[in-house]
Amino acid sequence: MQIAILLFDNITILDAVGPYEVLSRIPDATVTWVSSSPGPKKAKGGLTLLADRRLGEVPAPQIVLIPGGSGVDGVMREPAVLEWIRNAHRTSLFTAAVCTGSLVLGAAGLLKGLKATTHWNHRDRLAAFGVDVAAARVVREGKIVTAAGVSAGIDMALCLVRWTAGDRVAQAIQLGIEYDPDPPFDSGSPEKAPPEVLEMARKTRR
Amino acid sequence: MQIAILLFDNITILDAVGPYEVLSRIPDATVTWVSSSPGPKKAKGGLTLLADRRLGEVPAPQIVLIPGGSGVDGVMREPAVLEWIRNAHRTSLFTAAVCTGSLVLGAAGLLKGLKATTHWNHRDRLAAFGVDVAAARVVREGKIVTAAGVSAGIDMALCLVRWTAGDRVAQAIQLGIEYDPDPPFDSGSPEKAPPEVLEMARKTRR
């Protein structure tokens, strides 16, 4: 199974690496990082990564994954990327997005009239694409799957493993990455965070 | 605040990127990826990354972070890396490891007689360094902090933010990465996983 993850400048890299760590552990899966232009890409925070292939070299992956980050503003204005997504979506098993990656699916015209999710601080932007925005962690509409902000990609990827390789493989991968979360606070959603924390986080809209 | 993350071939990249995504959001923090040799590094699964600096260029970061992965077997045999860790530890605020990164701290001689944790499938290897191995998600012994397998680095990093920048900043970062985990299964620890899943995961000791 070939999995393609879109890489671009100003990507929020955990959006991509959470699912990567999960999906690359599926037996017989290969993850390929694709980009629209050659050369190193800088994630938010400064980490430098290299894509494996240009978009055109990976026309028909089984899973397409679009991460988010402030770089999606540029990605949404690249017709070649949107065209690649639309084409790949025709034959994919799943077309997925994490965080503001769903805005790119929206810009590609794939989400119109569908239910989808995104980072809590960007729901209005997703709604502007004619999307029925859900305040959910993972939303599946047929073969389109979207996840909430950043870390939600890990939960989404485990669902993708479940749907493609079965429950046992998904559970073994969860155990392999020891995903038994225990955050020191319970402030991971706008509904749970204290008001002053919500205010702080809102200001850093990325 | 300068944070240094060790990069090497066959790193388990989520060990590093989970904490990176959290720590790089601390106001005024800079994360620098350091390596003992120049050139691109290949993570498990094939992702290619570039370090920012050589070890000697970052002698005294406030936070030192050692990720895990099968590549630690090589790292533990590199005297220059172990020496860099020992030196950096003298002046660090925190010296931290995720997953089998704790084996590197053990090889550097920093964990003798102390309580620490690691990936559940490698506890025997950590014990061999004279460590009191805890089946815990995050363990703090003074300024040495260790996390369990892979995804535990996210929880650990939120603790590091709490201890260096305070509760409110940590909570705002948790909200920023929408870390409100909701895995589709409850099999993230050896105590919780069904026996056949544990057996599957044990075989893929990395």
Q: What is the DSSP string of chain B?
A: -EEEEE--TT--HHHHHHHHHHHTTSTT-EEEEEESS-S-EE-TTS-EEE-SEEGGG----SEEEE--STTHHHHTT-HHHHHHHHHHHHH-SEEEEETTHHHHHHHTT--TTSEE---GGGHHHHHTTT-EE---SEEEETTEEEE-STTHHHHHHHHHHHHHH-HHHHHHHHHHTT-----SSS-SSTTTS-HHHHHHHHHT--
Residue of B nearest to A68 (CA): B177
Chain segment B21-68, per-residue pLDDT in tens: 999 999 999 999 999 998 899 999 999 999 999 999 999 999 999 999
Say what the pLDDT of residue A93 is: 98
Tell whether B201 is within 8 A of chain A (Cβ): yes
Q: Which two tokens stand for residue B84?
A: 């860099």
Angle between helix axes A152-165 and A167-176 (nearest 10 degrees) is 140
Task: Answer yes or no: is pLDDT of B137 > 70.
Answer: yes
Chain A contact for B7, CB < 8 A?
A: no
Q: Does A204 touch chain B (CB under 8 A)?
A: yes
The band of B206, judged by pLDDT with boundaries at 50, 70 and 90, is low
Which of B9, B24, B179 best tests the A interface by mutation, with the highest count of A CBs <10 A?
Answer: B179
A27/B contact by beta carbon, under 8 A = no
Neighbours of B24 (CB within 10 A): 22
Looking at the partner chain, which of B12, B151, B204 has a beta carbon nearest the beta carbon of A154? B151
**Distance between CA B82 and CA A122 in Å, rounded?**
44
Q: What angle do CA A27, A32, A37 make, to 5 degrees?
A: 175
Q: How far apart are CA B193 and CA B184, in angstroms?
A: 13
Domain count for chain A, please give it: 1
Minimal CA separation from B90 to chain A, in Å: 26
A197 touches chain B (CB under 8 A): yes
The answer, for A176 touching chain B at a CB cutoff of 8 Å, is yes
Residues A65-93: tens digit of each pLDDT: 999 999 999 999 999 999 999 999 999 99
Quote the mean pLDDT of chain A: 97
CB A99 within 8 A of CB A69: yes
3-state secondary structure of A115: strand
- B190 touching A (Cβ < 8 Å): yes
Q: Which residue of B has its CA nearest to A43?
A: B21
Whether B99 is catalytic is yes
At A34, which CATH number? 3.40.50.880
- Mapped onto helix, strand or coil, the DSSP state of residue A58 is coil
The pLDDT of residue B99 is 98
The 3-class SS string of A130-189 reads CCEECCCCEEEECCEEEECCCCHHHHHHHHHHHHHHCHHHHHHHHHHCCCCCCCCCCCCC
| Residue in B30, B47, B182 closest to A155 by CB | B182
Distance from CA of A142 to the nearest CA of B (A): 18
Closest chain A residue to the Cα of B175, Cα to Cα:
A188
Contact criterion met (CB < 8 Å) for B185 and A158: yes
Token pair for residue A70? 């402030």
Euclidean distance between CA atoms B5 and B51, whole angstroms: 9
How many pairs of residues across A and B have Cβ atoms under 8 Å apart?
A: 236
**pLDDT at residue A205 greater than cutoff 70:** no
- The reported pLDDT for the residue numbered B205 is 60
Q: What is the token pair recorded at A105?
A: 């699916």
Contacts of B86 (CB under 8 A, 6+ apart): B108, B109, B110
Q: Per residue in A134-184, pLDDT tens?
A: 999 999 999 999 999 999 999 999 999 999 999 999 999 999 999 999 999
Model pTM score: 0.97
Distance from CA of A38 to the nearest CA of B (A): 13
Cβ-Cβ contacts under 8 Å, A20 against chain B:
13-14, 45, 47
Q: Which of residues 59-88 of A touch B (CB under 8 A)?
A: none
Q: Do A184 and B198 touch (CB under 8 A)?
A: no
The residue annotated as part of the active site, out of B99, B131, B145, B159, is B99
Give the integer Cα–Cα distance in Å for B177 and A26: 25
Identity at A121, one-letter amino acid code: N
Interface contact B44-A24, CB threshold 8 A: yes
Write the CB contacts of B74 (distance below 8 Å, at least 6 apart in sequence). B8, B9, B10
Does residue A70 contact residue A45 with C-beta atoms inside 8 Å?
Answer: no
- Interface probe, candidates B180, B202, B203, chain A, greatest A C-beta count within 10 A: B180
Count of beta carbons in the 10 Å neighbourhood of residue A60: 12
| Domain span at B175 | 2-204
Distance from CA of B72 to the nearest CA of A (A): 16
Under DSSP, is residue A6 helix (H, G, I), strand (E, B) or coil? strand
Percent of chain B at pLDDT above 70? 99
